[in-house]
């Protein structure tokens, strides 16, 4: 199955999320989905990461859903494309 | 002659040639246009600008194009009004309204960014332009693309109100109505931008697009007589305009076109969608995404692409952020209309309401110059005021009925004799 890549911003919106090893869990759950952190800014209250994910299309989508289910905001690297 | 020297990542500094790219391949940071400012000195002058056309292209030396402008030849140079009536109401000494509700052809500040983006799209060889928009941006892309003879794709959520759809449809773009919630539509648009070789103005042409917003600031400076307001209050949605107005001010200062009066810039947002103002108040650089809930839909962007840079510009300038509730926004729309004869959309109401709060809290001193940025026209958003304005009763077509009405209202009417 061909691999696809996705560039996204992950936002860890509160201290609780910042302090959980959510990416590690995703990697255990979806070992065929790789991730490469290209930029990150993390404080005690909020963390934002620019991440390149790669994997088979269906599994990659499921992995990103897993991150959302943990409470992360997962957005395209363009963030909000829809303007007024 | 063009002074453009390519693109550069704002985060890691990686250089890129001019093409339809918007994020750095290495760190995913946003790209920005680079200019040779040293070469501009002595050549880009007040006189050279004043000798240019009466549209936004008079600042073309500071815009990222090489050839002749293709669209926007009637855009920009909107009124900068001294708002004397509003000055009296608010108790301030010097207040200006920069009024892009009068911007041609679709009545918003988007003409500035879209004029630059579409001209650049043609320079780069694109034959199709597009955007994902619920209003002003779609209107402007559709209109300018029609003028340029380009194919235009406008992507919208399927349940958008008819009134907002018409303002684009009339220009005959290809409109794509997408089923799904906001996040679904946003994600799909990102995938479309990745897959198709189109110029999505606010995505892959974003480095060029955003530069057009500088002309809002350039015009303020020139129209004030080559000086800067001490305080500029600007709405924040995706975060394009505020950092670029500030960049425009700094460019004029660095080129010696205006005196450096340490201008301060302020972000205005609706209380129902205030991720940038919230970050400024909390002393954070990072933006926490929000789910918008406000009537100010044109600025309801929960995770603004350039929010971080808004915070940076505000902090660097010594400005601040303020928000306004929906009722404060409507009151400010009505206040601006009845005092200055300008009907703005909720984004403008937000900006004026925030300005009032900044004045009342002492953040903006009453005796210093203030400029309120009005970025869109109220005629596009009649629904926000339609229930706020009472329709007057009707009367019989007789002078007696009119006199009775005047008497009812206690209006002093002087009878005028025919001469």
Q: Which of B10, B31, B140, B190 to mutate to test the interface with A (most CBs of A within 10 A)?
A: B190
Nearest one of A69, A83, A20 to B210, comparing CA atoms: A83
pLDDT for residue B415: 55
- B185 to chain A, any CB pair closer than 8 A? The answer is yes
Residues B132 and B78 occupy one common structural domain: no
pLDDT of res. B418:
47
**B223 lies in a domain?**
yes
CA–CA distances in Å: residue B340 to residues B23, B36, B220, B385:
42, 41, 18, 17
Report the pLDDT value the prediction gives residue B231, as an integer from 0 to 100: 98
Q: What is the pTM (predicted TM-score) of this model?
A: 0.94
Contact B27 A50 (CB under 8 A): yes
**The two three-digit tokens of residue B408, written as one number:** 């009812």
Nearest to A80 among B136, B157, B238 (CB): B238
B353 and B309 in a single domain? The answer is: yes
State how far the Cα of B315 lies from the Cα of B246, in Å rounded to an integer: 11
Residue B225 is given by DSSP the state T
Calculate the average pLDDT of chain B: 94
Among candidates A13, A77, A84 on the partner chain, residue whose Cβ is nearest the Cβ of B137: A84
Subunit contact A82:B284, Cβ cutoff 8 A:
no
Which chain A residues have a beta carbon less than 8 Å from that of B157?
82
In a domain, B136, yes or no: yes
Instruction: Using alpha carbons only, give the angle B354, B293, B341 rounded to the nearest 5 degrees.
Output: 40
Say yes or no: B311 and B323 in one domain: yes
pLDDT at B419: 45
What secondary structure does DSSP assign to B116-162, as a single string?
HHHHHHHHTT-SEEEEEBSSHHHHHHHHHHHHHT-EEEEEEETT--H
Note whether B288 contacts A80, CB cutoff 8 Å. no
CATH number assigned to the domain comprising residue B175 = 3.40.50.1100
Q: CA–CA separation, B155 vs B162, rounded Å? A: 14
What element of type H or E holds B113? helix B110-123
Q: What are phi and psi of A53, to 5 degrees?
A: -100, 150
Q: What is the mean pLDDT of residues B293-319?
A: 92
Average pLDDT over residues B199-212: 95
pLDDT number for residue B411: 67
**Per-residue model confidence as pLDDT tens digits over B103-113:** 999 999 999 99
**B296 within some domain:** yes
**Sheet containing strand A34-42, strands side by side:** A34-42, A47-56, A3-12, A73-76
Domain boundaries, chain A: 3-76
The answer to whether residue A61 neighbours chain B at the CB level (below 8 Å) is no
pLDDT at B408 (0 to 100): 87
Dump pLDDT digits (tens) for B28-86.
999 999 999 999 999 999 999 999 999 999 999 999 999 999 999 999 999 999 999 99
Set of chain B residues whose Cβ sits within 8 Å of the Cβ of A83:
131-134, 136-137, 202, 237-238, 301
Inform me whether the pLDDT recorded for B118 exceeds 80.
yes
- Is residue B320 pLDDT above 70, yes or no? yes
B59 domain residue, yes or no: no
How much is the pLDDT for B233?
98
At residue B230, the 3 state secondary structure works out as coil
- Gap from A53 CA to chain B (nearest CA, Å): 13
Q: Are residues B199 and B236 in the same domain?
A: no
- State residue B181's pLDDT score: 75
Query: CB-CB: which of B11, B289, B299 is closest to A73?
Result: B289
Do B299 and B224 have their domain in common? Answer: yes
CB A84 to CB B190 under 8 A? no
The verdict on a CB contact (< 8 Å) between B134 and A81 is no
Are residues B242 and B166 part of one domain? no
The C-alpha atoms of residue B195 and residue B410 are separated, in whole angstroms, by 67
Tell me: cis bond preceding B105? Omega within 30 of 0 counts: yes
Specify the CATH class of A3-76 in words.
alpha beta
Q: Quick one: angle between helices A57-69 and A22-29, nearest 10? A: 140
Q: d(Cα B206, Cα B214) in Å, to the nearest integer?
A: 13
**Cross-strand pairs, A12:** A47
Based on the fold, state whether residues B78 and B222 are members of the same structural domain: yes
The encoded tokens of residue B196 equal 């198709």
d(CA B43, CA B101): 32
Residues B94 and B162 in one domain: no
ipTM entry: 0.92
Residues in B closer than 8 angstroms to A73, CB to CB, are 289, 303
Enumerate the residues of chain A whose CB falls inside 8 A of the CB of residue B132.
81-83
Residuewise pLDDT in 10s, chain A (84 residues): 789 999 999 999 999 999 999 999 999 999 999 999 999 999 999 999 999 999 999 999 999 999 999 999 999 998 888 888
Q: How many domains is chain B built from?
A: 2
- Contacts A–B by Cβ distance under 8 A: 98
Tell me, yes or no, if B237 comes closer than 8 A to chain A by beta carbon.
yes
Q: Which domain holds residue B347?
A: 70-106+218-383
Q: Are B190 and A38 a contacting pair at CB < 8 A? A: no
B323 vs B304: CA distance, rounded Å: 16
The reply to whether B98 and B131 lie within a common domain is: no
One DSSP character per residue, A22-64 reads: HHHHHHHH-TT-EEEEEEEEE-SS-EEEEEEEEEEHHHHHHHH
* Measured CA angle at B281 (ends A72, B322), to 5 deg: 110
Sheet strands side by side (includes B231-235): B80-82, B94-99, B369-374, B231-235, B264-270, B321-324
Please check the confidence at residue B413 and state whether its pLDDT lies above 60.
no
Q: Is B27 on the interface with A (CB under 8 A)?
A: yes
pLDDT over 80 at B310, yes or no: yes
Residue B331 falls inside a structural domain = yes
In this predicted structure, the answer to whether residue B412 has a pLDDT above a threshold of 80 is no
User: Would you say B137 and B118 are in contact if contact means Cβ atoms under 8 Å apart?
Assistant: no
Measured between alpha carbons, how far is residue B4 from residues B29, B64, B70, B208 in Å?
20, 6, 18, 11
Q: Residues of A with CB below 8 A from B236's CB?
A: none
B187, B205, B290: which to substitute to probe chain A, counting the most A Cβ within 10 Å? B187
Residue B36 lies in a domain: no
Taking contacts as CB-CB distances below 8 angstroms, the residues of chain A near B135 are: 84
Q: What is the pLDDT of residue B414?
A: 57
Rounded CA-CA distance B33/B248 in Å is 13
Residue-wise pLDDT for B126-147, tens only, equals 999 999 988 899 999 999 999 9
- Say if B396 falls within a structural domain: no
CB contact under 8 A, A75 and B27: no
B416 falls in which pLDDT band (50, 70, 90)?
Answer: low
Residues in chain A within 8 Å Cβ distance of B23: 7, 77-78
As a whole number of angstroms, the distance between CA B337 and CA B89 comes to 13
- Please give the residue that has the higher pLDDT: either B248 or B189: B248
Length of chain A: 84
Interatomic CA distance for residues B312 and B318, integer angstroms: 10
Span of B132-146, B150-164, B199-213 with lowest mean pLDDT: B150-164
Boundary (domain end) residue, out of B184, B209, B234:
B209
* Token pair belonging to B171: 């220009």
A71 — contact with chain B (CB < 8 Å)?
no
Mean pLDDT of B343-351: 96
Residue B80 lies in a domain: yes
pLDDT, tens digit (0-9, with 9 covering 90-100), for B358-402: 999 999 999 999 999 999 999 999 989 998 888 888 999 999 999
Both B96 and B114 in a single domain?
Answer: no
Q: Return the residue in B10, B28, B281 with the most chain A beta carbons within 10 A, the one to mutate for interface testing.
A: B28
């Amino acid at each position: 199955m061909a691999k696809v890549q996705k560039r996204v911003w992950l936002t860890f919106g509160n201290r609780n999320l910042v302090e959980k090893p959510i990416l590690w869990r995703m990697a255990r759950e979806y070992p065929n989905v790789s991730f490469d952190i290209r930029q990150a800014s993390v404080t005690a209250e909020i963390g934002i990461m620019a991440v390149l994910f790669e994997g088979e299309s269906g599994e990659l989508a499921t992995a990103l859903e897993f991150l959302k289910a943990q409470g992360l905001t997962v957005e395209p690297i363009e963030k909000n494309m829809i303007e007024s | 002659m063009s002074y453009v020297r390519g693109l550069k990542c704002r985060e890691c500094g990686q250089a890129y040639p001019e093409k339809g790219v918007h994020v750095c391949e290495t760190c995913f940071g946003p790209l920005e246009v680079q200019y040779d400012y040293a070469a501009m000195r002595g050549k880009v002058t007040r006189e050279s600008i004043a000798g240019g056309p009466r549209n936004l292209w008079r600042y073309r030396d500071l815009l990222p194009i090489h050839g002749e402008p293709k669209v926007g030849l009637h855009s920009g140079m909107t009124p900068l009004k001294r708002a004397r009536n509003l000055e009296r109401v608010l108790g301030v000494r010097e207040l200006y309204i920069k009024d892009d509700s009068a911007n041609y052809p679709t009545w918003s500040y988007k003409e500035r960014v879209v004029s630059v983006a579409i001209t650049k799209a043609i320079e780069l060889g694109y034959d199709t332009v597009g955007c994902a928009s619920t209003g002003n941006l779609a209107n402007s892309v559709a209109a300018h693309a029609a003028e340029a003879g380009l194919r235009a794709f406008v992507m919208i959520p399927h349940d958008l109100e008819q009134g907002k759809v018409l303002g684009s449809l009339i220009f005959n773009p290809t409109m794509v109505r997408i089923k799904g919630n906001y996040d679904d539509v946003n994600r799909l648009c990102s995938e479309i931008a990745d897959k198709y070789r189109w110029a999505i103005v606010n995505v892959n042409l974003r480095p060029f697009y955003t530069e057009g917003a500088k002309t809002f600031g350039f015009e303020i400076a020139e129209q004030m007589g080559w000086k800067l307001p001490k305080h500029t209050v600007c709405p924040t949605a995706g975060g394009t305009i505020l950092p670029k107005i500030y960049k425009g001010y700094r460019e004029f200062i660095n080129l010696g076109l205006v005196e450096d009066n340490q201008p301060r810039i302020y972000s205005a947002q609706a209380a129902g969608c205030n991720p940038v103002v919230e970050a400024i108040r909390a002393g954070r650089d990072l933006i926490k995404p929000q789910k918008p809930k406000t009537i100010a839909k044109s600025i309801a962007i929960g995770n603004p692409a350039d929010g971080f840079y808004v915070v940076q510009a505000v902090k660097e300038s010594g400005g601040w952020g303020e928000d306004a509730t929906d009722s404060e926004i409507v009151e400010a729309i009505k206040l601006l209309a009845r005092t200055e004869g300008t009907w703005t959309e909720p984004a403008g109401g937000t900006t004026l309401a925030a300005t009032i709060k900044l004045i009342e809290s002492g953040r903006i001193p009453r005796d210093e110059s203030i400029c309120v940025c009005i970025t869109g026209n109220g005629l596009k958003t009649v629904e926000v005021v339609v229930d706020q304005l009472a329709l007057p009763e009707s009367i019989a077509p007789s002078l007696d009925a009119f006199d009775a009405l005047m008497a009812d209202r206690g209006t002093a009417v002087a009878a005028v004799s025919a001469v």
